Structure 1
Amino acid sequence: MASIIKRRRLASALRQLREQAGLTLEDVASRLDMAQSTMSRIETARARARPVIVHSLLPIYGIHGIEADVIVQLARDASQRDWWYAYRDVMADWFRTFVGLEGEAAKIQVFQPQVVPSLLQTEEYARALLGAAWVNRKPAEVERRVQLRLRRQEVLGNRPGLQCQLVLGEAALHCRIGTPEILAAQLDRLVQLIDDGRIMIQVLPFTAGATGGELGQFVLLDFPYPEDPPVGYVEHLVGGQLVEEPTEVDRLRAVFRHQRTIALSPEESRKLIVEVATAAT
């Protein structure tokens, strides 16, 4: 289990223990001679709760013995480095969190209106796309981002039972990323993944009209355990944001559900992808 999942569970446990003890963030921060903002970041999993801090917190909450030992061990586990740590030089903090969560998801739903989603890209397609998106960076850095993308695909490819549902705008099939050969190979890859039963793709045709996704791409992640609430993720050219508020996650889910109802069926979508791939060569 990724450390980010453990950190989220630890954050939730610490928040519940504080509330059960009838204490405010200000109360706890003053007792530990710590900034209130730091405590807030710990309880929202935006900062790591080091084991020594957790060990100091638990007596304040009236937690001792075996129960305290379990929580401190969770803090130790949450401090372990995940596989993506080797790529931290090309990952913003928000993206590290998303990648950690992505690798633990039981179901991934993606809406991408313009290009093939990162988890389905061929190496050549990813290199051409990232080279354009990071045109002001050195080739070595772009290559690091390509290899990170391929590593993410490898991690998810080793997850048995993972459900992947994607809605692609028809423009994603026609947008010429790289050479015509690169695009054709990318579309062939989509067909292969569909035929292998690893993903479900529906295409939103140009004639679909308003889809609810005109403002950009998003991802929904669902996890196998009920203590890990679903999250959304939205991304744009210069950043990304996790969506954790339940009402906002529900809104993304409703949009995705709507998109699926107006998109082509999986069978019709496969047929269209094959047609576009044939025309691209």
Structure 2
Amino acid sequence: MGRVRQTLERRQLGLALQRLRTSADKSRQEAADVLGKVRSRIAELEEGKSTVSSDDLAALLDLYGVTGEERETVLALAAEARKRQPRRPYTDVLPRAYQRFADLEASAGEINSYEPSIIPGLLQSPGYIRAVVNDWDGILPKSSEAEFEDRVTFRMERQARTLGTDGPQNIRIVVTDEALRSMPGSPELKKEQLDHVLSLMRRQNGPSVQVLPRQATITPALGGGFTVFGFMGESAPVAFSSVLYGPSVYLDGEADTEALSRLFERIRELAMSPADSTVWVERLLEEV
């Protein structure tokens, strides 16, 4: 286990190991003792600043009680972390990609997120989450009721983790008025979602939410959504490109993250201010 340059794959591996250790109720000292290392080396590993041998990784996974597909995924992620080539987009094709996205999201100090046609995940109400998951019925393999509930629960836990007091302190989200107006489902669902967005907009120290009006023209951002994660100078920013279906794509090259950061600022300039956005959503709610 040696100190190395931090990369996205190493960061994802570290975050996964930190989550698994916490879930197993093990301390960093216990993990270090198993490997015969000092506690600081476990901290470096979980921060993506250290490599880990196959034998040491297996010992950690044994300590955390990780088996089955999740164990194989972590081992595969470690293999990717060891062979990563610098400055190229990283495509996460391993199982549980959504969990790794949530790990990265919760570890960020700053989140800038934009989606052109759907309510961004951090703003989705419980009913909206259920509707989104249910809409994939018949497209993805049929899931059991328990699997359906697990997917819903995971998304709600992701929100609580990221929007809680220990989550990122600077969250800025731009949602389009088209996404708010054209929500599928019953009036009750639309009312629930709008109420939910308003509660977040009014929350003290909550996310900054802006509504992008229909007349705004942002040709560069019409093709899809994206999120830029900032780490308050401790690590390089990471961008995530939203896709309808398929593997998750991340960019951590400076040119890419700077371009998307500038694009996000342009979108915010075209959007209504947070105060005006709150008034707009209140009026939209009255129309339901």
Task: Settle same-fold status: TM greater than 0.5.
Answer: yes
Cα distance, 1:210 vs structure 2? 2.6
Cα distance, 1:44 vs structure 2? 4.6
Instruction: Name the residue aligned to 2:122.
Output: 119
The aligned amino acid for 2:136 is A
More displaced, 212-221 or 170-179? 170-179
RMSD: 3.3
Of residues 251, 266, 276, the one that matches 2:284 is 276
Are 2:21 and 1:45 aligned? Answer: no
SS of equivalent residue, structure 1 residue 232: strand
Going from structure 1 to structure 2, the CA distance change for 1:44 and 1:121 (only over 3 Å counts) comes to closer
Instruction: Name the residue aligned to 1:218.
Output: 226
Cα distance in 1 between the residues matched to 2:13 and 2:124: 32
Of residues 166, 186, 189, the one that matches 1:182 is 189
Mapping of residues 202-217 of structure 1, within 5 Å: 202-217=210-225
Q: Is the 8 A contact 2:175 2:210 kept in 1?
A: yes
Q: TM-score, normalised by structure 2?
A: 0.67
Cα distance in 1 between the residues matched to 2:8 and 2:175: 36
Mapping of residues 56-205 of structure 1, within 5 Å: 69=38, 72-74=41-43, 77=46, 92-136=95-139, 137-140=142-145, 141-160=147-166, 162-197=169-204, 198-205=206-213
Cα distance in 1 between the residues matched to 2:200 and 2:264: 21
Cα distance, 1:102 vs structure 2? 0.6
SS of equivalent residue, structure 1 residue 109: strand
User: Looking at CA atoms only, which structure, 1 or 2, has the larger radius of gyration?
Assistant: 1
Cα distance, 1:158 vs structure 2? 2.4
Runs (5+) with no aligned partner, structure 2: 15-36, 48-56, 74-93
Q: Is the 8 A contact 2:212 2:272 kept in 1?
A: yes
Instruction: Count residues in correspondence.
Output: 223
Q: Is the 8 A contact 2:127 2:192 kept in 1?
A: no
Runs (5+) with no aligned partner, structure 1: 1-9, 17-41, 50-67
The percentage of counterpart residues that share the same residue type is 24
Q: TM-score, normalised by structure 1?
A: 0.69
Mapping of residues 4-43 of structure 1, within 5 Å: 13-15=3-5
SS of equivalent residue, structure 1 residue 212: helix
